Every structure is written in structure tokens, then in C-alpha cells.
Chain A
């Protein structure tokens, strides 16, 4: 493994659907939009950026953006996407030009009952520590809150 530190996310899911079906739901921009809850403006094309708007309740103000890296039919679909510094409407910016990016890879494997899908998101080491903190579920407590948390934890455990 390229990243042994646990600084990446790996998800595996068994889907009771043929590989071809899963492939289409990942790479057809309309189908992707259906389950990912994003309205995309254009198809996925290797080397190109696809944009759209998030449809997930509470995040409708956010622009979705990804550049497709690889499309190996029925095997691998990957893209690189930027991370928003703030998720709340007041402070969110759709300018992703200097934003840290992570790589998302969808790997498909045929199984007896359908498809094994493995999703890997890596590159979190590119995310500045202060962004990680600010990205916390929209409740931006920051440093002071962290100190409070530790104090509470310590008081409870002493």
C-alpha cells in the first residue's frame, strides 16, 4: 500500500448487480448524479473537468467539481476532486483553484452474485490541518472548542 498511515479511506461494498450495470451507474454522468445527489452539467471524459451542483439537502449551495483521471471499462474509474474549505453557506467559496485535492478510485470486480466495488479516497495529507478542523460538520469550534473538549474530557476522567 502506498499509504500505510491510515490517511486514506477505503470502502468495499457487494452489489447484487452485474459489473456492466455498476460501471454505467458510476461513469454515466446522469446516473452518477442520481445516487450521488448531484446535478452534473456534462459527461465524464478522461482529462476533463465535470461540474455540477450538489442536490444533497443542506449542501445545495455547493459546486461539485471533478477531473476524470482514468476510465478503464468495467475495471477502474477515477477522478480527482477539490475539497471545500467551508461547507456552510455563509463562508463557502466555489473558487477551487488552490484547493487541496484528493483522488477517488472506484474499482470493480466480478463476483458470483454481482460486483464487488472498492472505493478508495486518498491524498488527505494534502489537506492543511486547519482545514480539517474547519471542515468539522459545519460547527466550527476551532482551537478554543478543542481546548474545551480536552478540558471536559480530562475533568471527567480524572
Chain B
């Protein structure tokens, strides 16, 4: 499962997906963690169902939103974790290597 996530996540796609006010608004609505339907996401906004659907597709493609079927409708949930966690993890390991190699450099060059 982690392999599937890591292969799917592309930071550039993620940032592009979040660089849109409408999509950020959708993400904000989903940030409670509760699954929401298209109807729920459209309610109270000036957006059409089609527009919301289109934006959800972009968010799904970026791996930030997942959908599950519940009867006839799809429910959408926010999933920021794989992106943030993977990036953060690799950053941390990367920083540790930088420090270790800096120590190696002064060790062998002394």
C-alpha cells in the first residue's frame, strides 16, 4: 500500500491542485475529516455540481482526496497524510545524511 502511495504522489501535482481558491474551499470543507457527498460540498456555495465534480477529480488525481461509494452517491474524504508524511520523512533522513557526511568530510580531511 505504501508503494502505491509513494508512486502516486507527485509534489508538483499536489501544489498545483492546492493552488486554486475553489479547490482550497473544498479542501477546507473536507478538513473536518468527515466524508462528504457532492450534494454536501455544493450546498451553500455558488458552484454547480459539475464544477465541484471537476475540482474533486483534480484533488483525487493529486492523491489528496479519496472517494468511496455509499449506495448511489460517492463520498469524498481528505487524505493529506501520505503527501505530508512521505515528504517530511525523506526530508528528515536527508538532513541526517547531510550532517553525517559533513562530519565524515572533516574527519577524513583533517
CB distance from A8 to the nearest CB of B (A): 9
Choose, from A10-18, A39-47, A62-70, A71-79, the stretch at the interface.
Answer: A10-18
**Distance between Cα atoms of A27 and B109 in the complex (Å):** 17
- Determine the interface band of chain B, counting residues with CB < 8 A from chain A: 35 or more
Chain B binding surface SS class:
helix
Instruction: Name B7-42 residues within 8 Å CB distance of A.
Output: 7, 18, 21, 24-25, 27-28, 31-33
Cβ contacts under 8 Å, B92 to chain A = 135-137
Closest to A104 in B: B97
- The 8 Å CB contact of B97, one of A31, A121, A124, is A121
Instruction: Name B62-110 residues within 8 Å CB distance of A.
Output: 78, 80-82, 84-86, 88-90, 92-94, 97-98, 100-101, 103-109
B53 on the interface (CB 8 Å rule)? no
- The 8 Å CB contact of A146, one of B24, B84, B103, is B84
Cβ contacts under 8 Å, A34 to chain B = 107
CB distance from A17 to the nearest CB of B (A): 4
B6 on the interface (CB 8 Å rule)? yes
Q: Which residues of A contact B (CB under 8 A)?
A: 5-7, 9, 11, 13, 15-17, 21-22, 25, 31, 34-37, 117, 119, 121, 124-129, 132-133, 135-137, 143, 146-147, 149-151, 153-155, 157-158
12 A-B Cβ contacts within 8 A? A6-B90, A7-B90, A15-B105, A15-B108, A37-B100, A117-B101, A124-B93, A125-B2, A125-B3, A127-B2, A132-B86, A135-B89
